[in-house]
Amino acid sequence: MFEKPVIGFVGLGLMGHGIAKNIRNGGYDLLVKGNRNRTPIDSLLNLGAQEIQSPREMAGKCDIIHLCLSTSTQIEATMHGENGVLSGARPGLVVVDTSTADPFSTEALAARLAEKGGHMVDAPLGGTPVQAEAGELSAMVGGEKEVIARIRPVLDCWAASINHIGPVGAGHKMKLLMNFVGLSYGALFSELVVLGAKVGISPQKVHEVLSPSRMGSGFFETFMGYVVERDRESHKFSIENAAKDMRYLNDLAAEAGIVNIMGAAAKHYYTHAIATDHGEDYVPMLSDIVGEMNGIDMDRIVREANEA
């Protein structure tokens, strides 16, 4: 690897743009692969990044490639094939997967990359798009200690805290455990506010009582930011991604031979939401869907409580 490695980036969505911007602002040459949304691409080009046409081309020119994609299916498509990363990989290439992905797929891709003399590091993210733009994300990292130490200066550009969890795949396993908690809360809070509404306790009162208690949390605050204030921007994590993460979590539990009743129950809520065409909605909007399932219009409940 060169003293100042060349960095590639695939996946410039809500989180990816901020990460890539901070890498470029850290003084690294940055190559990006374009997509249909030109806004983040043009933003990075204005900062001096270069655009390339394929992951294969990127692998031939870069020392470290970051991936920030939605699913393992997308990651595998980026890695495999005639124009994939693996087809152009050189010895020493490091692929850093910041996505929330299937750890079994990650382990298989790492083995394929190792055959080319490269290294896979999984570094899924903790934080929000705002934190991504500010370079204040956390990273749960899986991979070889020596490789992580080598790429640490690049990770430091976008991560305020870095935890080495274990070998490759361990970062993605930890991220699924973390999302298991948050997305189960999403289902639980949805039931909570709907049950409260059914028995005459408004979401506003639920928020007022729980927020300062030991059961309050950052997740609760952003979740209730939508429920109580109807702020669609308060908690921007899609139901489609939530369902995917819970599917991976359930697969992880099945592979481990663990009874996973809570995980299965939460997964079914998100699966139902997608089946009823709400995949692009955000997680707190699950409360409206649970309300509909129980004959309750949560928007009306909140509005009437505000007018009382």
- Cα 68 to Cα 13, 18, 178, 248: the distances in Å are 8, 11, 18, 17
Residue 145 identity: K
Helices (H), 257-297: 261-275, 286-293
Nearest to 11, CA basis, from 86, 92, 101: 101
Around 282, how many Cα atoms within 13 Å sit in the side-chain half-sphere? Answer: 15
Question: For strand 137-142 and strand 125-126, is the pairing parallel, antiparallel, or unpaired?
Answer: antiparallel
Could you say which of 33, 173, 175, 244 is catalytic?
A: 175
CA angle 272, 275, 279 (to 5 degrees): 90
* 46 half-sphere exposure, CB direction, 13 A CA radius: 7
β-sheet bridge partners, residue 66: 9, 96
* Residue 198 appears among annotated catalytic residues: no
For residue 203, give the nearest of 189, 186, 184 by alpha carbon. 189
- Contact (Cβ atoms closer than 8 angstroms) between residue 87 and residue 40: no
Helical packing angle, 286-293 and 170-198, nearest 10°: 50
Residue reference for tokens 């299937």 = 102
Give the residue numbers marked as catalytic.
175
